[in-house]
């Protein structure tokens, strides 16, 4: 038992290391800047006004607001709640699924989720998807445990998972639909192929009371109402909760610039997720054999994969909510393969898959995190943006009065700069037209295409750097008497 606990803790430490190490390393993503902007709106207005046409569920925003309020305005602070949720997902898979998986399968599944390049990459920045993974793990474990064991905790896990998913992202309806359809698929398959019972490795669990059947759904409903209504200050958000499905159905099928081919997900798996790819290929096994729980999970996971394949709208972060079941199925398949072949075979395959995925997770998250040639790097801010932001941020940290410096920013796609520069309270933002500069500001950031229209004279020093792939450089001008020039290697002549 002690040895098992040590292995579980090691896996959890691997998950934590990948998700927590140097959270400030990657520049804030466009969407992080948008989410950070909404966090600032909560601070100024006291409420997050849910709008399904622009952004996702409210729970994530309030979590970011809480972290920023307690720990300050830093990228690592904005990312910390999501990183902790990613670690919690691995922990729940290791300990919450004990009655549903064999011990070796559970350990392998936890390891696969801990090192998954997609789970790590998305779990290191402040967007919604990692919350959805934890929600679906909770819901699936609760539903499966209720199916077999009728335990008290199963009711609460199921409803907690449902509430967490519904508070996170509108695509939860796809997963719920596939879970329900999979029940019919399993019922049909069970007529022809018997399923194995799940392992039982714990003492009997407490049985539910009538009050649990009433309180669990009521608690979930109350959570939805409280958060979507903005704690009673934005009741329209409750109506918008239902309106969101029509909005996002249109988003998924209309032209948005995020369309891709049907084989997009398979290409990602081939490049990054060898363990998930192997489990996807091997999941056909559960049509004929395996526990009913894993048969249900395989059927629902394939249904989700099929739906996301058919939807034209594709962004790489969606993969994490599709891939987590294959960590579980991969763990079980590896154990089963070891029973029918020499243990060296699954051990070798597992070593290759985990070695590849761990290396990819490291390379992607700590080396090539802003390389546009990496498929997971999507509208990502490039590290060179520090050329023109560090002079502002570093100077203001040393002399806080500079937070009042007058700035002008003329960039056609400006996020995440409004959040990154949120402590500067005297900045004017302009879409694509230079304002009157007859009274020159203390600093100016512009698209490089505007450079020929600017002549600020010798009192300013100049620097340039990228913002995102596909955009020209951003050029910065800084008053020398207010902002000292950085190392000469960053500068270029006006």
Over residues 414-450, the pLDDT tens digits come to 999 999 999 999 999 997 788 888 889 999 999 988 8
Residue 454's pLDDT band (cuts 50, 70, 90): confident
Mean pLDDT of all residues in 209-224 = 94
Residue 252's pLDDT band (cuts 50, 70, 90): low
Summary mean pLDDT of the chain: 90
Is residue 275 within 8 A of residue 357, CB to CB? The reply is yes
Edge to edge, the sheet with strand 407-410 lists 427-430, 407-410, 443-447, 474-479, 460-465
Residue with tokens 């996971």: 301
**For residue 489, what pLDDT is reported?**
42
> How many residues are recorded in the chain?
494
Give the H/E segment covering residue 259.
none
pTM: 0.92
Residue 491 has pLDDT above 60, yes or no: no
**For residue 299, what pLDDT is reported?**
96
Interatomic CA distance for residues 414 and 424, integer angstroms: 15
Interatomic CA distance for residues 439 and 426, integer angstroms: 14
DSSP reduced 3-state for 420 = helix
Number of neighbouring beta carbons within 10 Å of residue 436:
6
Residue 257 has pLDDT above 70, yes or no: no
Is residue 201 within 8 A of residue 104, CB to CB? The reply is no
- Domain ranges (residues) in the chain: 2-366, 383-490
Residue 451's pLDDT band (cuts 50, 70, 90): confident
Interatomic CA distance for residues 163 and 75, integer angstroms: 27
Instruction: Give the tens place of pLDDT for each residue, 296-324.
Output: 999 999 999 999 999 988 899 999 999 99
Find which of 192-196, 244-248, 257-261 is predicted with most confidence, using mean pLDDT.
192-196
- Report CA-CA distances (Å) from 167 to 20, 172, 225: 24, 9, 10
Q: Which residue has the higher pLDDT, 205 or 144?
A: 144
- Burial (CB < 10 A; 0-12, 13-18, 19+), residue 225, is middle
**For residue 204, what pLDDT is reported?**
65
Instruction: Give the tens place of pLDDT for each residue, 338-352.
Output: 888 777 888 889 999
Angle at 259 between CA 25 and CA 243, to 5 degrees: 90
Verify cis geometry, omega within 30 degrees of 0, for the bond prior to 237.
Answer: no
Residue with tokens 């203001």: 396
Residue 494's pLDDT band (cuts 50, 70, 90): very low
Residue with tokens 């606990």: 5
**For residue 453, what pLDDT is reported?**
86
Strands 427-430 and 407-410: parallel
Residue 400 has pLDDT above 50, yes or no: yes
Q: Which two tokens stand for residue 36?
A: 């950070």
Mean pLDDT of all residues in 251-280 = 84
Number of neighbouring beta carbons within 10 Å of residue 305:
21
Residue with tokens 């009538």: 210
Is residue 97 within 8 A of residue 328, CB to CB? The reply is yes
What single string gives the DSSP state of each residue in 456-474? --TTEEEEEE--BTTSPPE
Q: What share of the chain is helix, strand, coil (3-state, %, to 5)?
A: 60, 5, 30
**For residue 425, what pLDDT is reported?**
93
Angle at 341 between CA 340 and CA 342, to 5 degrees: 135
Interatomic CA distance for residues 156 and 146, integer angstroms: 10
Give the H/E segment covering residue 166.
helix 152-166
**For residue 492, what pLDDT is reported?**
46
Shortest CA distance to 78 belongs to which of 7, 154, 26? 26
Topology classification of domain 383-490 = D-Maltodextrin-Binding Protein; domain 2 (3.40.190)
Residue 42 has pLDDT above 70, yes or no: yes
Q: Which residues contact 428 (CB under 8 A, 6 or more apart)?
A: 407, 408, 409, 435, 441
């Amino acid at each position: 038992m002690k040895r098992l606990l040590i292995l579980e803790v090691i896996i959890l430490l691997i998950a934590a290391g990948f998700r927590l190490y140097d959270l400030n390393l990657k520049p804030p993503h466009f969407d992080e800047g948008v989410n950070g902007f909404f966090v600032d709106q909560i601070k100024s207005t006291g409420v997050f006004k849910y709008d399904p046409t622009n952004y996702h569920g409210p729970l994530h925003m309030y979590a970011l607001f809480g972290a920023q309020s307690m720990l300050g305005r830093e990228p690592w602070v904005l990312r910390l709640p999501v990183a902790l949720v990613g670690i919690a997902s691995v922990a729940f898979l290791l300990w919450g699924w004990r009655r549903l998986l064999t011990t070796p399968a559970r350990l392998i599944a936890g390891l696969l989720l801990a090192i998954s390049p997609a789970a790590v990459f998305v779990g290191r920045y402040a967007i919604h998807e990692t919350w959805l993974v934890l929600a679906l793990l909770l819901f699936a474990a609760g539903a499966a445990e209720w199916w077999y064991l009728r335990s008290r905790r199963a009711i609460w896990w199921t409803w907690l998972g449902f509430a967490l998913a519904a508070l996170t992202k509108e695509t939860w309806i796809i997963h719920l639909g596939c879970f329900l359809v999979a029940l019919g698929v399993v019922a049909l398959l069970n007529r022809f192929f018997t399923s194995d019972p799940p392992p039982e490795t714990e003492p009997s669990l407490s049985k539910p009371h009538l009050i649990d059947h009433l309180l669990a759904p009521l608690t979930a409903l109350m959570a939805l109402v409280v958060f979507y209504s903005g704690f009673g200050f934005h009741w329209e958000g409750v109506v918008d909760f239902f309106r969101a499905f029509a909005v996002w159905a249109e988003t998924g099928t209309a032209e948005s610039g995020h369309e891709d081919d049907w084989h997009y997900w398979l290409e990602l798996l081939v490049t990054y997720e060898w363990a998930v790819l192997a489990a996807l290929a091997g999941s056909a096994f559960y049509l004929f054999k395996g526990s009913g729980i894993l048969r249900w999970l395989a059927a629902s996971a394939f249904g989700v994969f099929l739906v996301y394949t058919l939807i034209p709208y594709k962004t790489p972060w969606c993969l994490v909510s599709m891939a987590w079941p294959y960590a579980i199925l991969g763990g079980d398949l590896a154990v089963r393969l070891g029973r029918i072949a020499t243990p060296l075979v699954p051990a070798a395959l597992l070593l290759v898959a985990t070695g590849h995925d761990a290396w990819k997770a490291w390379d992607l998250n700590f080396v090539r995190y802003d390389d546009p040639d990496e498929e997971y790097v999507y509208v990502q801010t490039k590290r060179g943006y520090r050329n023109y932001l560090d002079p502002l941020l570093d100077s203001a940290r040393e002399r806080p009065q500079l937070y009042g410096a007058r700035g002008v920013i003329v960039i056609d796609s400006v996020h995440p700069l409004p959040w990154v520069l949120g402590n500067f309270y005297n900045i004017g933002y302009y879409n694509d037209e230079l304002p009157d500069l007859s009274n020159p500001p203390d600093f100016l950031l512009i698209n490089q295409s505007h450079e020929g229209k600017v002549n600020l004279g010798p009192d300013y020093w100049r620097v340039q750097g990228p913002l995102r792939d596909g955009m020209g450089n951003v050029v910065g001008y800084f008053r020398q008497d207010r902002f000292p020039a950085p190392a000469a290697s960053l500068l270029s002549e006006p």
